[in-house]
Chains A and B, each alone.
Chain A
Amino acid sequence: MIEKAVKEPLIRISKKNDTPLVSAIITRVFAVAIGLIICGIVVMLITGGKTSFFGVFEEMFKGAFGTLRKFKLTLREMTALLCIGLALVPAFKMKFWNIGGEGQALMGVLASIAVLKIFPDMPNEMLLLTMFVASVVAGAIWALIPAFFRAFWNTNETLFTLMMNYVAFQLMAFFIVLWESSPGIHVIKPFTIGYLPQLFGVEYGWNIVIVFSLTIVMFVFMKYSKQGYEISVVGESENTAKYIGINVKAVILKTMAISGGLCGLAGFLLVAGSNHTMNTSLVGGFGFTAIIVAWLAKLNPFYMILTAFYVVFLGIGTDQIASSFNLNDYASDAIIGIALFLVLGCEFFINYKITFRKKSNRKEVG
């Protein structure tokens, strides 16, 4: 029984405790670079040599920053994504897996459009303010429903928030038909009222200012406020929270109101800041993509500016590649998948060390 070949395992994986920040950053930069290189090679191969390796990146940059218009669109997308990402931070810090950002933002969109529909004669400032409040409240309510059930009956918030997305989709589809511009077309024509004005002569200026201030506010809120501290304690250990007398149920409800409210705010920005109409794909999956943005940045609002930018850049860049080289959506999705996988995967090398069997040991064994 003991006669079987005795060998030390070839590869062993052990946990690293303290990776210096610099080497962690270098690892991540490497991951981004390798991801882009692989994308370049893949595109080169599937287009059958229609482009050079660097031509691929040229196209990506053209798509994202090629013209001033394109650059503005990139910024606009990024602010929407970042806004939902920031909304998820307090929920995720509390270990409340809110994957209902999509639905909460859609409810924000719906509320804004409802205000436009109901109060078409309001002065613009009042109108915008009403839309803003309605959107935030609608998003908050959509998040409070699962939060309530979780707080009082300990239901699973992941499934609950996910399902709430589909309810929001259907609700919106219903209102689109109800408010359609002419019978049977199932489309609401863009409103001509309720536009966020240009700020300093820049289109989407308000979107940018609101979301970037929100980034700072969120950072300060999580790190320096009493409520942010309570959220972290509840997230780390509900027992400890109870032990020091935090009302855990109240914290769950408050936090989800914030999270959902900010998703609603993203919905408001999507309506008043860019689209002025609604359809079920208006949020465009950002509610889910924002989860990646938030986790890639380890829930740090400032890092999220970078990750939101990278994700949007990849999305727009690969769309450009797809249209330039006659590829379809699947190709661009695959490329995004590869690039993001590498960024996520590099965390393994930051947290773990791999040891290979040493040759000398093998000799001793023999």
Chain B
Amino acid sequence: MSEIAIELKNITKRFGSVVANENVSISVAKGEILSILGENGSGKTTLMNMLSGIYFPDEGQIFVDGKLALIKSPKDAFDYKIGMIHQHFKLVDVLTVTENIILGLKEKGKYNINKSAKKVEEICQSFGFKIDPMKKIYEMSVSEKQTVEILKVIYRGAEILILDEPTAVLTPSESEQLFVILRKMKDAGKAIIIITHKMHEVLSLSDRVVVLRKGQYIGTVATSSATELSLTEMMVGQAISLNIERSEPVDPKTRLLVNNVSVTNREGVKILKNVSFKAKSGEILGIAGIAGSGQKELLESIAGLRVLKTGSIIYRNPKDNSEEDLRDKSPLQIRNLGVRLSFVPEDRLGMGLVGAMGITDNMMLRSYKSGQGFFLKRKSPRNLADKIIQDLEISTPSTETPVRKLSGGNVQKVLVGREIAASPTVLMAAYPVRGLDINSSYTIYNLLNKQKESGAAVIFVGEDLDVLIELCDRIIVLCGGTISGIVDGRTATKENIGSMMSTAAILGVEH
């Protein structure tokens, strides 16, 4: 193996009584791509934040080029030629690529934008980026913005690149382009660390894989000798089966008729454009699309949280087939119509749960108004809380512990548990497994499947195409606020859905 670029020795980091990283030792060589794999909460991001100067380790040392390095601030990290590409871009929209890149840099000599632009162009050529240095950020696509972030750290002379879940916002083909770039940088002798939880990316891209589990260092394996199953078992710590059972829909009937719905945001920009589809009882309808294609707005419109510009949302009551238009109705009015609509929103603690309250009080959110009188009745919510804790194996010190203090997976189980407890006829779930470990994810898939079998119309917004294809009966692909296709989950392929996710699909042109 070639020269070691960066080495971490026995790193430990605690937050209060929580151990985020314990005794983690890893190293990356120049010209190597290292994946860090682990479930959410396993300490991947904490570890990388110590490299980029956001946290300081409690114990252990970091060596850069064989010399002890103390990284106390992001500036120190930059001095050690460590560049981090965050999941959320840190770019100024109204500035050009070059302006963004040199922003905050103290270069010697006079400020000369043309000279800088030339340097940017040279970097672009040597790595094969296709970017105009004078283009403004707001005119760019998500993947172009990400390229700018990468350009930024290279321009600043980074030799060690850290990418935190870079493909979460990309379509499959954009991810492929990113990988081409990363391989080129690898050939140029840079050390690359990539954090991800997508197994196929790990296998196709990296040279070695480090696996973390609950803050502990589990091991490093050469990618060539690893398989998806062996890595998953390292991550989870036990043998598991990765199958989702998909039953045939029984007697599907139209439950929800979304017709020609358009929604604008505060600035008057259309977020949803003429969206029409049907959700049927006894089936899972998937919604695919890169992040921010209108998924959130679509579900919120159905739930009565958005004002529609045009269109209607017709609910067909299973009892008597009577129809109700849910347009312009508040969540309370919808519930009072007898529509059992459950909604698991994307931002669990910001919408859906109250972080400062315990599980009991969160169970009460849906039911506190029922019954006469001035006072709250905590008895049945408390029983429900106990039942959900037991059924979904939620680990919490008590039913009164604020849910904010629970782990992401447990928070999600509390929310999904409550929404399912209302025995919904329509169940909408936005990214219900985001941030969950594999076991919890499969628990959630099973719960969704059970709802489907008991006749609910399930709408599932997902980001992992493999899961969508395995779980859903039909899949709607959203792209830029319009439906670019509706496919059958049993026959669809990833490539097929992926191509519909990209803008080219709507414009009808190839890039």
Chain A residues within CB distance 8 Å of chain B:
1-2, 6-9, 12, 14-18, 224-227, 229-230, 232-233, 236-237, 239-240, 242-247, 353, 365
Q: Say whether B68 contacts A224, CB under 8 Å.
A: no
| Residue numbers in B under 8 Å from A232 (CB-CB) | 354, 356-357
Cβ distance A151 to chain B, nearest Cβ, rounded Å = 15
| Residue numbers in B under 8 Å from A7 (CB-CB) | 70
Q: Cα distance A229–B364 when bound, in Å?
A: 10
Q: Say whether B365 contacts A240, CB under 8 Å.
A: yes
27 A-B pairs with CB atoms under 8 Å apart are A2-B79, A6-B69, A6-B70, A9-B72, A17-B16, A17-B18, A17-B405, A18-B16, A225-B374, A226-B368, A226-B375, A229-B368, A230-B368, A232-B357, A237-B350, A237-B355, A240-B351, A240-B353, A240-B354, A242-B351, A243-B305, A243-B343, A244-B331, A245-B304, A245-B331, A246-B332, A365-B68
Q: Cα distance A229–B361 when bound, in Å?
A: 9
CB within 8 Å for A236 and B356 given contacts A243-B331, A245-B335: yes
Q: Cα distance A244–B375 when bound, in Å?
A: 19
Cβ distance A53 to chain B, nearest Cβ, rounded Å = 39
For the complex, would chain A's binding face be called helix, strand, loop or mixed by DSSP majority? Answer: mixed
Q: Say whether B354 contacts A226, CB under 8 Å.
A: no
Q: Say whether A240 contacts B352, CB under 8 Å.
A: yes
CB within 8 Å for A243 and B354 given contacts A2-B67, A2-B79, A14-B16: no
Q: Say whether A247 contacts B332, CB under 8 Å.
A: yes
Ordered nearest first, which 4 A-B pairs have the shortest CB separation?
A: A245-B332, A245-B331, A17-B16, A239-B351
| Residue numbers in A under 8 Å from B67 (CB-CB) | 2
Q: Say whether B70 contacts A17, CB under 8 Å.
A: no
| Residue numbers in A under 8 Å from B17 (CB-CB) | 17-18
| Residue numbers in B under 8 Å from A243 (CB-CB) | 303, 305, 331, 343, 345, 351-352
Given contacts A8-B56, A236-B356, 17 further A-B contacts (CB under 8 A): A1-B79, A2-B67, A2-B79, A6-B70, A15-B16, A17-B15, A226-B374, A232-B356, A239-B350, A240-B350, A240-B351, A242-B305, A243-B351, A244-B366, A245-B330, A245-B334, A365-B68
Q: How many residues of B contact A (CB 8 A)?
A: 44
Most chain A beta-carbon neighbours within 10 Å: one of B69, B72, B80, B374: B374
Q: Cα distance A257–B343 when bound, in Å?
A: 33
For the complex, would chain B's binding face be called helix, strand, loop or mixed by DSSP majority? Answer: loop
Most chain A beta-carbon neighbours within 10 Å: one of B347, B351, B364: B351
Cβ distance B120 to chain A, nearest Cβ, rounded Å = 23
Q: Cα distance A75–B375 when bound, in Å?
A: 32
Contact with A along B325-364 (1 / 0, CB 8 A): 0000011111100000001010101111111110001001
Q: Cα distance A18–B64 when bound, in Å?
A: 36
Q: Cα distance A116–B335 when bound, in Å?
A: 50
Most chain B beta-carbon neighbours within 10 Å: one of A8, A15, A230, A233: A233
Contact with A along B489-502 (1 / 0, CB 8 A): 00000000000000
Residue B369 is within 8 A (CB to CB) of chain A in the complex: yes
CB nearest to B18 among chain A residues? A17
Near A by CB (< 8 A), chain B positions 294-345 give 303-305, 330-335, 343, 345
Q: Cα distance A353–B16 when bound, in Å?
A: 8
Q: Say whether A9 contacts B56, CB under 8 Å.
A: yes
CB nearest to B365 among chain A residues? A244
Residue B376 is within 8 A (CB to CB) of chain A in the complex: yes
Q: Cα distance A230–B335 when bound, in Å?
A: 17
Cβ distance B439 to chain A, nearest Cβ, rounded Å = 25
Most chain A beta-carbon neighbours within 10 Å: one of B15, B16, B335: B16
Q: Say whether B365 contacts A2, CB under 8 Å.
A: no
CB nearest to B355 among chain A residues? A236
| Residue numbers in B under 8 Å from A225 (CB-CB) | 374-376
Q: Cα distance A365–B72 when bound, in Å?
A: 14
| Residue numbers in A under 8 Å from B332 (CB-CB) | 245-247
Q: Say whether B354 contacts A233, CB under 8 Å.
A: yes
Cβ distance A132 to chain B, nearest Cβ, rounded Å = 22
Most chain A beta-carbon neighbours within 10 Å: one of B343, B354, B376: B354
| Residue numbers in A under 8 Å from B351 (CB-CB) | 237, 239-240, 242-243
| Residue numbers in A under 8 Å from B374 (CB-CB) | 225-227
| Residue numbers in A under 8 Å from B365 (CB-CB) | 233, 240, 244
| Residue numbers in A under 8 Å from B64 (CB-CB) | 2
| Residue numbers in A under 8 Å from B69 (CB-CB) | 2, 6
Cβ distance A27 to chain B, nearest Cβ, rounded Å = 17
Cβ distance B80 to chain A, nearest Cβ, rounded Å = 7
| Residue numbers in B under 8 Å from A2 (CB-CB) | 64, 67, 69, 79-80
Q: Cα distance A14–B304 when bound, in Å?
A: 42
Q: Cα distance A70–B371 when bound, in Å?
A: 50
CB nearest to A246 among chain B residues? B332
Cβ distance A4 to chain B, nearest Cβ, rounded Å = 9
Q: Cα distance A16–B18 when bound, in Å?
A: 10
CB nearest to A8 among chain B residues? B70
| Residue numbers in A under 8 Å from B15 (CB-CB) | 14-15, 17
Q: Cα distance A226–B16 when bound, in Å?
A: 35
Cβ distance A221 to chain B, nearest Cβ, rounded Å = 9
| Residue numbers in A under 8 Å from B343 (CB-CB) | 243
Q: Cα distance A323–B19 when bound, in Å?
A: 57
Cβ distance A248 to chain B, nearest Cβ, rounded Å = 10
Q: Cα distance A7–B70 when bound, in Å?
A: 7
Q: Say whether B376 contacts A229, CB under 8 Å.
A: yes
Q: Say whether B376 contacts A224, CB under 8 Å.
A: yes
| Residue numbers in A under 8 Å from B303 (CB-CB) | 243
Cβ distance A94 to chain B, nearest Cβ, rounded Å = 13
| Residue numbers in A under 8 Å from B361 (CB-CB) | 229
| Residue numbers in B under 8 Å from A226 (CB-CB) | 368-369, 374-376
